[in-house]
Amino acid sequence: MMAETTRSRLLRFFKDNNIVFILILVYAAACVAASPMITSGKSNNFIKLSNTLNILQNIGTYGILAMGLTFIFLVGGIDLSIGYQVGFDGALFAILATHGVNLWLAMLITVAAGLLIGYTNGLIVTRMRITPLIGTLAVMTILKGLVYLINSESISLTDVTVGEMSLKAVYTSQLLTFLSLPVILIIILTAAAVYFLKKTRSGVNLYIIGGNLEAGNLAGINSPGLTRLAYTIGGGCASICAILVSMRMNAATYNMGDGIDITAICAIVVGGVKMKGGKGNMLMCIMGVAVIQIIANLMDKLHFSSAMISLITGIIVVLVLILDKFTGRKEAM
């Protein structure tokens, strides 16, 4: 009996913390794969400090997008428009910033637009009772058309400065060696999200309605309101990501959101956040983003094709899902 109890505890510990082991394993394997021993004696800059800082910046930028999508997943929703929200918000920010609008005001308007789009998605799902898959697909199509209308060519942000620094310089500037703007933002937002989900009634209720909507309704929880809140947060996070991507590229392009939604979903799934709702947390989400970014960066340094990168990323997600299902079944037994 004692052996069974110990086994159950080990399985539960691994299930709850497997993303930590996966992250450590992936980074160690990436360092080995990038070493001269594997690359036929050729030096690879994967393990250089500059590349590590680049990975951290990507984790910060795309981690914010994944955080917003995690809120939506927690209530059992999905948002297929998130990629084109980034494209639209980026174009809006670039247009405002290049037409004499104060930079901080341009950022504020962009975030407000993101929140509004997210809230609209929430209304479609709750008030119109359209399934999230279809409703957000319709919004995605609308945003795609708007992006091509207002930004058929890239909008350069080269002339937009903060003091004497370009937006790209602000994005990449380092504080205490590794704290760049995206890293600082992801730390602040993650801490705020963790506090909200753990310490507030609304945050706890997100898990309840995601895990069991009927039980949430019986408990008197305002499920439609919380669902709209989750989608609104998702839209706000998409707008922050759009601003950061525009700063990094020093431009806003019509296709800057292409594929970014799939990458975010893959990262969240790897992080152990359940798409059916009710399970997951922000730290797991960010570690999932880290896994995907490390793998993508390594394959880029090894000159893999984009098709191969997509293929390998998909295989990794499938393997993680199988592992999660296996450990969950064992624990239940």
Name which residue leads in pLDDT, 46 or 196: 196
Flag whether pLDDT at 192 surpasses 70. yes
Closest-CA residue to 287 (of 11, 51, 25, 9): 25
> Greatest CA span in the chain, whole angstroms?
72
Q: How many independent structural domains does the chain possess?
A: 1
Structural domain includes residue 33: no
| Cβ(231)–Cβ(77) below 8 Å | yes
Residue 251: strand, helix, or coil: strand
- Quote the tokens at residue 157: 């942000």
Closest-CA residue to 140 (of 265, 253, 257): 257
- pTM for this structure? 0.88
Structural domain includes residue 17: no
- Quote the tokens at residue 305: 């094709």
Structural domain includes residue 10: no
Structural domain includes residue 7: no
Domain containing 247: what range? 48-258+272-280
Measured distance CA(244)–CA(167) in Å, rounded: 9
Closest-CA residue to 73 (of 65, 83, 85): 65
Q: Determine the pLDDT at residue 245.
A: 95
Flag whether pLDDT at 138 surpasses 80. yes
Q: What letter represents residue 88's amino acid?
A: F
Structural domain includes residue 175: yes
Q: Determine the pLDDT at residue 33.
A: 77
| Cβ(74)–Cβ(193) below 8 Å | no
Q: Determine the pLDDT at residue 332.
A: 43
Closest-CA residue to 273 (of 92, 32, 68): 68
Flag whether pLDDT at 333 surpasses 50. no
Structural domain includes residue 333: no
Structural domain includes residue 112: yes
Structural domain includes residue 294: no
Flag whether pLDDT at 221 surpasses 60. yes
